[in-house]
Amino acid sequence: MDGSRRPGAQRWRSIRYIGGSYRIPLPPGPPPKPKLSKAQHEEEERAEARAAPAAKRLAGLLSVGVTVMGLALAAVVVMAVLALIGHH
């Protein structure tokens, strides 16, 4: 076989014990993520620490955007009401 895995192929795990071994099927779903080394784990934590201020800034901008859009909608509603009242 060329090493490629068919999409529906059964995956197995070997369990060894004194005197022999047996195979059990792996649970369905994607394979588990490999464990990170200590250096990779520390690098991931540093990346998350760098991303935290950007996330706060984005949340602040989102809050400001929602406020501005709310005020703009209120102004449009007031102008529409004034236009309907002034039309009669």
pLDDT classification of 31: cutoffs 50, 70, 90: confident
Question: Residue 39 pLDDT > 90, yes or no?
Answer: yes
Going by C-alpha positions, the residue among 77, 53, 57 that lies closest to residue 65 is 57
- The owner of tokens 């309907």 is 84
Average pLDDT of the chain, as a whole number: 84
- In this predicted structure, the answer to whether residue 3 has a pLDDT above a threshold of 50 is no
Whole-number Cα distances in Å, 78 to 65, 67, 69, 87, 88: 20, 17, 14, 14, 16
Question: Chain-centre distance of CA 44, in angstroms?
Answer: 15
- In tens, the pLDDT along 49-82 reads 888 888 888 889 999 999 999 999 999 999 999 9
* Start-end of H helices in 1-88: 38-87
The amino acid that residue 27 corresponds to is P
**Residue 5 — very low, low, confident or very high, per pLDDT cuts 50/70/90?**
low
Q: What are phi and psi of 65, to 5 degrees?
A: -60, -40
Q: Which structure tokens are listed for 74? A: 């209120």
